[in-house]
Amino acid sequence: MVIPAAGQGKRMKAGINKQLLELGGQPVIVRTLKIFEQDEWCEGIIVVVSEAERERFHELFQAFQLKKVNALVIGGAERQHSVYNGLKVASSELVLIHDGARPFVTMEKIHELVNEANEHGAAVPAVPMKDTVKRVQQGFVKETVERSSLWAVQTPQAFRVSLILTAHERAKQEGYIGTDDASLVERIGQKVKIIEGDYRNIKLTTPDDLLFAEAILLSKGER
């Protein structure tokens, strides 16, 4: 599996990589990795980090005795570049790509995704949009998008390695940058299976998300 963790976390405004922030006494990235450490289906973890933070992450993984991290790969300017660098060293048949900044994914969902990706080649979790979405231009509404068909997509996204590698290579050749990995598969005409995600599988993106994260920990009896 590939965990991109090479971002700068600009929207979090924490001054450090948001995945190094502590949540209930543990760095976010450690929480994320522990879920996969405990998953018997997970054979190995490739973590993608920035050159400047490589040593810091390496020391952290040793301190927390994480055993499945078998490669620390250097990321790129966009998330897509980081994921591609990780994918290039993946050796399994199936791969999960999961944001380092999503520490609340459950093992149940992971297994559901693996089963669906085995069957369909690509599977991603998504939740129905709760808010009405409008397209806005220069401060005014352009249009209201019909909500019933809108889903907010999360990670982990699960793929056959051959499929997602081809999709990334095509995107690279054609200069396309997508905001998730599934979009690269969609654009080469392959189907992506959607499974019902979990509203609690949040990505820590802005400071408010840290409040939600504390509430999720509380609900799990960890606070």
Residues that bind ligand CTP (CB under 6 A): 4-11, 48, 75-79, 82, 99-101, 203, 205
Nearest distance from residue 22's CB to ligand CTP, in Å? 16
Identify whether the C-beta of residue 131 lies closer than 8 Å to the C-beta of residue 199: no
CB atoms within 10 A of CB 47: 28
Strand-strand pairing, 69-74 and 140-145: unpaired
Structure tokens that stand for 207 in this block: 């400071």
Measured from the CB atom, the residue of 66 and 115 that comes closer to ligand CTP is: 66
Whose Cβ is closer to ligand CTP: residue 200's or residue 203's?
203
Residue 43 has, within 13 A of its CA and on its CB side, a CA count of: 8
Q: Measured between alpha carbons, how far is 52 from 134 in angstroms, rounded to an integer?
A: 39
Residue 144 CB, nearest approach to ligand CTP (Å): 26
CB of 4 to Mg ion, least distance (A): 9
Pick from 158, 128, 167, 185: which is nearest to 36 by CA?
A: 158
Decide if 100 contacts 32 (C-beta within 8 A).
yes
* 42 vs 101, beta carbon nearer ligand CTP: 101
Question: Which of the choices ligand CTP, Mg ion, none does residue 125 contact, using the CB cut-off of 5 to 8 A by kind?
Answer: none
Yes or no: say if 198 and 153 are a contact pair by the CB < 8 Å rule: no
6 binds, among Mg ion, ligand CTP, none (CB under 5 to 8 A by kind): ligand CTP
Subset of 2-21 contacting Mg ion (CB under 5 A): 7
Least gap, CB of 65 to Mg ion (angstroms): 29
- In this complex, which beta carbon is closest to Mg ion, that of residue 29 or of residue 123? 29
Q: Which of ligand CTP, Mg ion, none sits in contact with 9, Cβ below 5 to 8 A by type?
A: ligand CTP
Distance between CA atoms of residues 148 and 170, nearest Å:
31
**Pairing verdict, β 45-49 and 2-4:** parallel
Smaller CB distance to ligand CTP: residue 89 or 218? 89
Positions touching Mg ion (CB under 5 A) are: 7
